[in-house]
Amino acid sequence: MISITPGSHAFRLISLLLLVGEYPFQGLGLIGDARTLKALAVKMSQPHEVQYNHKSVSYNGRILLISGSGRYKTIRLYKWFFPVLEKYFHDAYRYYLFEHPNHNFHSERNKIERNHRVAEALSFMLLSGIESRPYKTPTLQRMTIDRKPYLEPAYYSSRMVKSLVESQLQKTQYTRYVGILLYQTGYYVIYNSRKAVMRWNGEGEQKTTLDVSNLCSMNCESTGLRSAILLGYDYQVALNTINQYESGSRYVKLFSQNYHRIHFIPMTEEGIKMLQILVVPNWQHRILHMLFEEEQIRLNTGSFQFDALVDDTRVLCFMDCDILKLISFYKAARESDFSWSVVCYDSQVEFLRSYLGDTADLRSFDLNDFHKEMEANRKALL
């Protein structure tokens, strides 16, 4: 017997698959206890009687289909379970049919990899309390200006953005972004590098940046700087990305040329809190004023970026997770003889030591304190 009740692991898996189509079997740990969810997915891929919200359902069979192997092992909904989905998951089911009308998925590995990137990013947004369900987010306009305040942040997958104008499908088919996140005082283009350094297509990313900027200007009251969020499994991905950037990797530099800020967020419980802070209105201003006096704050001054000047010491605040600013700051520090230090969260210390060296002057703080002070907590939607 498979029991499906709102809030249960089975309910969450079904709801997620109705949004993303397929999800990586190996990535189930991102949305909960990996061992429990993998065991449940295997169970749901075998014939069972189904009970919904403690009531018997006239269905006896599989709910999920598991195919592939290794990192390409993927989970999908089983077609014969559709009548149950139509009855109990009506809005999500209608969206699923719109996105996957023939319930067909590509078997090519690059297509599976792409779908997994999109799926993981969307699930991370839902876990962070950011509305990502297309039937609950404000409708994006492409042909007319309709600026909305986005008092609540909203996430749109790249699939939805590309579908707004048919001609955009070919124009951005090689881009690596997986979605856009709009909030009250800005927007982010979202990328998911998973475990590896991503190889970006320069021309594709330039077109994406321009297209998204135009789209956001038509839908947002405030667009701010061109900012990207780079998701990854852990800080080793960020370190590898920085190392490749400094080694002159063409692919990484092409990506960095399109954005003023690139915020690296690990897909962990702490990463969820970091992302929640990044959608608080004017979050950067608030963080700096929690750390420094007004007269100490320095923004966009001099030949490189730093955030404060304290007793002739240039201070970088890495609580924004901006790896572009970090690279620029450390390059200037190595080439000059001024005193410098970095403030960060406790969980970022190991990463920063690996990059800046053991002798770097680091001051770390508890992420939970800032998260609470900024009232950034959001209820998970998955």
Question: What DSSP string runs through 217-233?
Answer: HHHBS---S-EEEEEES
> Residue 169: its pLDDT value, please?
43
> Residue 256: its pLDDT value, please?
66
> Residue 260: its pLDDT value, please?
85
The sheet with strand 261-266 has its strands ordered as 154-157, 179-183, 186-192, 227-232, 261-266
Q: Which residues of the chain have pLDDT under 70?
A: 164-175, 201-204, 223-224, 249-256, 300-303
- Nearest-angstrom CA–CA distance, 68 and 62: 17
E strands along the chain, which residues? 2-4, 22-24, 48-52, 55-61, 64-67, 74-77, 154-157, 179-183, 186-192, 227-232, 261-266, 308-310, 313-317, 339-345, 362-365
> Residue 259: its pLDDT value, please?
84
- Nearest-angstrom CA–CA distance, 216 and 180: 9
Pick the closest to residue 224 from 207, 212, 240 (CA basis): 212
> Residue 249: its pLDDT value, please?
67
- Nearest-angstrom CA–CA distance, 308 and 96: 49
> Residue 279: its pLDDT value, please?
96
DSSP 324-345: HHHHHHHHHHHHS--EEEEEEE
- Nearest-angstrom CA–CA distance, 217 and 120: 27
The C-alpha angle with vertex 107 and arms to 158 and 60, in degrees rounded to 5, equals: 95
Considering the entire predicted model, what is its pTM? 0.93
- Nearest-angstrom CA–CA distance, 28 and 262: 26
DSSP 67-91: E--GGG-EEEE-GGGHHHHHHHSHH
Block residue for tokens 């997915």: 41
> Residue 300: its pLDDT value, please?
63
> Residue 203: its pLDDT value, please?
67
> Residue 171: its pLDDT value, please?
47
pLDDT above 70 as % of the chain: 91
Whether 64 contacts 105, CB under 8 Å: no
Whether 169 contacts 134, CB under 8 Å: no
> Residue 255: its pLDDT value, please?
64
